[in-house]
């Protein structure tokens, strides 16, 4: 096996995800306080605090562990996809077709990045690549083009 190129979530993507968790929790909390002005039982307040805490910790868990993706591309055309430390799947790019789907917002920021890998039997797999960012995704996809047929889809 030759050189191994690795693509990971950037520190900026992690910080962005960690900042979104408190902001969403704050928005849900404000909505909860607005609803609470109409109903004032104590159990409703306690239930709301529990739900808001669950949302906050769920978003933090997702930001830290759920989006912890790593992609490896070797010189022999093997592409491996890891979530956390667990190998999700490996692909032989020399017998696969590639495509991608990129959705951009009105201000030009990438909102969604999906990689589509179709194996030699014609079964497509969709891999969400948003956590690694568009710059790393573009670099990775250019390297993957060397081993496979490419069908780009840009939206």
The per-residue pLDDT for range 42-77, each reduced to its tens digit, is 777 788 788 889 988 988 888 888 778 899 999 888
Q: Domain map of the chain by residue range?
A: 11-66, 74-154
Q: What is the pLDDT of residues 120-136, one digit of tens each?
A: 888 889 988 888 888 88
What is the pLDDT confidence band of residue 149, given thresholds at 50, 70 and 90? low
| Structural element, H or E, at residue 78 | strand 78-83
139 against 46, higher pLDDT:
139
List the structure tokens of 113: 């990045």
Which among 72, 94, 80 is positioned nearest to 4, based on CA atoms? 72
Provide mean pLDDT across the span 81-100: 88
Alpha-carbon Rg for the chain in angstroms: 20
The per-type count for the chain, helices as H runs and strands as E runs, is 3, 8
Is-contact 9 69, C-beta < 8 A? Answer: yes
- Calculate the average pLDDT of the chain: 83
């Amino acid at each position: 096996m030759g050189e191994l190129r690795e693509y990971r979530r950037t520190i900026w993507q992690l910080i962005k995800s960690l900042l979104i968790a408190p902001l969403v929790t704050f928005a849900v909390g404000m909505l909860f306080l607005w609803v609470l002005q109409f109903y004032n039982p104590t159990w409703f307040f306690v239930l709301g605090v529990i739900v808001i805490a669950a949302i906050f910790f769920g978003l933090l868990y997702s930001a830290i562990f759920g989006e912890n993706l790593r992609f490896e591309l070797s010189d022999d055309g093997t592409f491996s996809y890891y979530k956390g430390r667990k190998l999700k799947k490996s692909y032989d790019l020399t017998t696969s077709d590639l495509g991608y789907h990129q959705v951009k917002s009105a201000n030009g920021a990438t909102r969604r990045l999906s990689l589509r890998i179709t194996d030699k039997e014609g079964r497509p797999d969709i891999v969400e690549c948003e956590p690694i960012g568009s710059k790393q995704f573009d670099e990775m996809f250019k390297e993957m083009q060397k081993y496979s047929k490419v069908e780009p889809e840009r939206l």
